Amino acid sequence: MSTSHASAGPLEGLRVLDAATILAGPLVAQILGDFGADVIKIEHPHRPDGMRGHGLEKDGHPLWWKMVGRNKKTASLYLGDPEGAELFRKLASTADVVIENFRPGTFEKWGLGYDVLSKDNPGLIMLRVTGFGQTGPYADRPAFGTLVESMSGFAHLTGEADGPPTLPAFGLADTIAGIAGSSAVSMALYHRERTGLGQVIDLDLLSPIMTAVGPGLIYADQLGIDQKRSGNRSSNNAPRNLYRTADDHWLAISTSANSIAERVMRLVGHPEVIDEPWFATGGERAKHADLLDAYVGGWIGERTRDDVMAAFTAAGAAIAPVYKPSDLLEDPQVEAIGMTATVEDEDLGPMRMQNVLWRMGRTPGAIRHTGRAHGADTDEVFAELGVDADTLGSLRGRGIL
């Protein structure tokens, strides 16, 4: 089990203002915080980030928030009030990155557009996350990940061939956009290092998942073909499917490489198909998926999961079990390279969660603390700007903090 500890990440000294809500924008901030950035989470005084109400709770504490809110100070501030906006402008003058995901024009309405914020801070990077971008006919539409998962082609391709389109059971589009957003910020920081200038990043939720879905767009453009749902099969290779073992477990097999396909068919006792002309490419094998699945599925169905896993491993053939989340907590590879971390939470004690996304040799990231309570660091954040205790009390009394 990997235990988190303080570590100087590559972004140490970088200040990030997370003024976004729900998932994509806050995930960008989480990733930057995981790798050393000083992240300040800005939330409405009375309507905090909706992520605090998402998912399961333990003893009244939302568990998902403990992860996506990690490594962030939390401060409350009403940006729609002129005094609140002025405090945000002062805070932004000390920041390197601002992340927001309000509808286009909202920050401008509050006097917080990039033209205003960059006057005092020309090196500021502003990441703006929306469903469909800052411009265009859909710019003002409300959007959530579910909608772009539907529009991206993901739902169209997911599900059984004779079944309906299928949506994911988790925030797929937001998560992909969050990871993409952290990459975009890194690129902007590199540009600033060379030029001294910040910039606006216009990140919509649709673009990253359109890329993740694959080549369907270019197929439609060049061939006039829309890919179809194929369940757990692939049009690119076979055998590729989920197969049930004799002891009622599911195993995943993929044979993108021809050499792996050959090893699988020898292992399951049907080497004769290797000499068939159609076996030479994944696409042609996919046209014979019924035959290949019958051979592979029949062999696996007569054996236990452990026996199948051992045989495939010995043969150098690719295979993996279908895991539940609880299985990940016990997996030796997950344990060996620290894919999870144990973090001490001030409310619930030690908890395991996904660790930082990658392992850096010289500047590893770390989870320094879990998600904090709403507004826990408000006084500290604004005191650093020179706001005295009496003013803080007055602002809080008027609902601005």
Residues annotated as part of the active site? 174
Q: Of 300, 295, 296, nearest to 310 (Cα)?
A: 300
CA distances from 232 to 215, 235, 298, 401 (A): 18, 10, 17, 51
Q: State how far the Cα of 134 lies from the Cα of 261, in Å rounded to an integer.
A: 46
Residue in the block written with tokens 């179809």: 228
Q: State how far the Cα of 127 lies from the Cα of 145, in Å rounded to an integer.
A: 18
In the numeric block, which tokens belong to residue 340? 């999870």
In the numeric block, which tokens belong to residue 375? 């507004």
**Are the beta carbons of 305 and 243 closer than 8 angstroms?**
no
In the numeric block, which tokens belong to residue 103? 């509808």
